[in-house]
Structure 1
């Protein structure tokens, strides 16, 4: 008995799959065209109201640029979509790789722009500034409540380490004195008392 099941192809199945695929492709293309028209109309209307040298105008340019990259990414996926389709159906692993490569290309495009590096630098600087302010606020609150801060604990830790080192030196000197006096065992305790 053969373990491979044989299926007879359903008449019209291949045509139905092809029709669904072509319909989905056409709908996606039309959707992109409608979205592009909507974004362009919105940008044109907004640009007519926003002064040319305002920060909002720069944000509009970035928004338009971001949409262009997003649209290019989807078109790139559409172009390579045929690579994931075979007579057996859609190879989901191949489709996933197509999408990942398209998104990787888009991210590379975004990350290669100087404006991205500037924005990332500004964002990081803002976060570090906020973190410093929060740390200072935390220290101020702890100080007002007469509780130790991280700096206070560090100072106490350093002091304890110094005390431990001094104690060790004193013990070493004491051992040397006792050894020089040639006192052993119980006699050591009598001298200490």
Structure 2
């Protein structure tokens, strides 16, 4: 009689679960690497478009420091997986990536190139908002609806009328007082 080894269903289920978890970790790692790659491309494009040589150099140095943080996190993760095997908690791996992402972004955001680009972006956004507001005001005015400008003007006129009325009431009170004294 030949001895046949069968794997219990619970162990097969566990093996499938661990394989699935490992595949998900690899997929997550690849997604993180892809995100880093996209970040690098976007950062390089943005730097080359709107910065002078000094800021560009500082921006590249900031990115290099951020890249070093990412690579150290990848090494830490690989070491942790090698040391602990399947006992590595997905939460621990997530924490490593989140921590390294925060540190990497600090490196990038601390450069004058990032500050300059952020300033330019905010300025562009404010100009766009102003143009949209003006367009909305002119559209409302063309439709015969009160605009913010119209409401302010009415409010200013109302305040002026109240001021004048108060002045007239004071003069009238003085005239009435003078008539009563006679």
**Taking structure 2 as the reference length, what is the TM-score of the superposition?**
0.52
Unmatched 5+ stretches in structure 2:
1-17, 50-55
The count of residues paired between Structure 1 and Structure 2 equals 133
Among 65, 69, 73, the alignment partner of 1:72 is 69
1:108 matched to 2:74? The reply is no
More helix by share: 2
Q: Summarize the alignment of residues 125-144 of structure 1 with structure 2, pairs less than 5 Å apart.
A: 125-144=123-142
Structure 1 56/133 Cα, relative in aligned 2: closer, same or farther at 3 Å?
A: closer
Whose Rg is larger?
A: 1
Aligned counterparts of 2:127 and 2:170: Cα–Cα separation in 1: 49
Do the aligned partners of 1:77 and 1:102 also contact (CA within 8 Å) in 2? no
Structure 1 115/178 Cα, relative in aligned 2: closer, same or farther at 3 Å?
A: same
Query: What SS class does the counterpart of residue 182 from structure 1 fall into?
Result: helix
Aligned counterparts of 1:140 and 1:122: Cα–Cα separation in 2: 27
Q: Summarize the alignment of residues 1-193 of structure 1 with structure 2, pairs less than 5 Å apart.
A: 35=33, 58=48, 69=66, 72-73=69-70, 75-76=72-73, 79=76, 101-182=99-180
**Taking structure 1 as the reference length, what is the TM-score of the superposition?**
0.49
Task: Calculate the aligned-residue CA RMSD, in Å.
Answer: 4.4
Unmatched 5+ stretches in structure 1:
1-19, 44-54, 184-193
